[in-house]
Amino acid sequence: MDDGDAENTIPTVDLSQFFSKEEEGRKLATDTIAQACQTYGFFRIINHGVPAELMARALDLSKQFFALPDEEKHKVKPIEGSKAPLPAGYARQPEHSKDKNEYFMVFSPDLGFNLYPDQPAEFKGVIEKCYQRLVEVASLIQEIVNNCMGLPPNFLKEYNSSRNFDFMIALRYFPATETENNGLSEHQDGNCITLVFQDEIGGLEILKNDNWIQIEPSEGDIIVNLGDMIQVLSNNKFKSATHRVIQKGTHRHSFAFFFSIDGEKWIEPLPQFTTNIGEPPKYRGFHYKEYMQLRMRNKTHPPSRPEDVIHIAHYSI
């Protein structure tokens, strides 16, 4: 177990401890995750159960897909009138956006929202295998976070039982230019838990103590970060970390899996972190889909002033 240098890296956690009955190792890993959630909002996991060769193949196939001509990629554009909570399929950031990437979004294969290209031929099967494995990993992380928060056993599992709002994105970031070097502007994730695996290019950074920390890529590892929903539920005890992607001199590829919560769910600080301990709530309540709709509007109708961008502080008390 590596707690990392507090100034320039994030902790690494060996998840094999949770597949065994070795209680001391599990306690150490849980303590490391709890500390990471309260200070960084980020940590790295190894021995997580997702085969390294599967992730490598997914990255290779996504590179093949994004290298296709634009007219081919646009054949898998979002379905008009789809009931998907977000537009599944291929898209790219609008020209006016500071974010310089294109992406391919999928939901659970069971929901029937997804579109896939004819080429590369293996793309659909490999993505669906990755998706299912990442659901399993995120569910385990949620269980560990549940324990770190001191909640009753299976509380978060029952509270967040619907998987209908989870989604995964394959991303390609464009190379830096003389005038642009920001692949994904600084932000916090709006969901519960995010899992990321990336190619060797790097560029992911997190903000801690006003300093940007580079998250170096490592083959077979998965980067975990908490999102706004855990921050709200814990009444700011656990951190939704600010992060960004800085463009390099070549294309960067990654996959991000977003373990979310049902859109109809009412979100507010849990009593375990407010009334039960005499602390005032730091957020007013809201429906999850309301928050995500406001965040999506930021992308389609960018506010003219940075202070008008909607993030979780919109609900701060």
Q: What is the pLDDT of residue 302?
A: 64
Per-residue DSSP letters for 108-122? -GGGS-----SSSTT
- The verdict on residue 302 lying in a domain is yes
- The mean-pLDDT minimum among 123-127, 270-274, 298-302 falls in 298-302
Torsion of CA 23, 24, 30, 33, to 10 degrees: -150
Give tens-digit pLDDT for 216-231.
889 999 999 999 999 9
- The verdict on residue 23 lying in a domain is no
CATH classification of the domain holding 199: 2.60.120.330
- The verdict on residue 108 lying in a domain is yes
pTM to 2 decimal places: 0.93
- The verdict on residue 7 lying in a domain is no
> Measuring CA to CA, which residue among 225, 184, 188, 193 is closest to residue 11?
225
- The verdict on residue 41 lying in a domain is no
Task: Identify which has the larger pLDDT, 97 or 235.
Answer: 235
- The verdict on residue 252 lying in a domain is yes
- The verdict on residue 118 lying in a domain is yes
Q: Return the H-helix or E-strand segment holding 64.
A: helix 52-66
Residue 308 has pLDDT above 70, yes or no: no
**pLDDT-derived band of residue 95, with 50, 70 and 90 as boundaries?**
confident
- Find the angle CA(289)-CA(140)-CA(114) to the nearest 5 degrees: 45
Which residues form the domain of 147? Answer: 49-315
**pLDDT-derived band of residue 305, with 50, 70 and 90 as boundaries?**
low
Asked whether the beta carbons of 182 and 98 are under 8 A apart, the reply is yes
Asked whether the beta carbons of 14 and 1 are under 8 A apart, the reply is yes
Give tens-digit pLDDT for 242-287.
899 988 888 999 999 999 999 999 999 999 999 999 999 999 999 9
Q: Is the dihedral of CA 135, 138, 139, 140 positive or negative?
A: positive
Q: Max CA-CA distance within the chain?
A: 59
User: How large is the angle between the packed helices 123-148 and 23-39, nearest 10 degrees?
Assistant: 90
Asked whether the beta carbons of 195 and 222 are under 8 A apart, the reply is yes
Give the number of domains in the chain: 1
Two structure tokens written together for 315? 């609900």
**C-beta atoms surrounding 171 within 10 Å:** 21
- The verdict on residue 174 lying in a domain is yes
The mean of the pLDDT values for the chain is 89
Q: What single-letter amino acid sits at 9?
A: T
Give tens-digit pLDDT for 27-69.
888 999 999 999 888 999 999 999 999 999 999 999 999 999 9
Instruction: Quote the percentage of the chain above a pLDDT of 70.
Output: 91
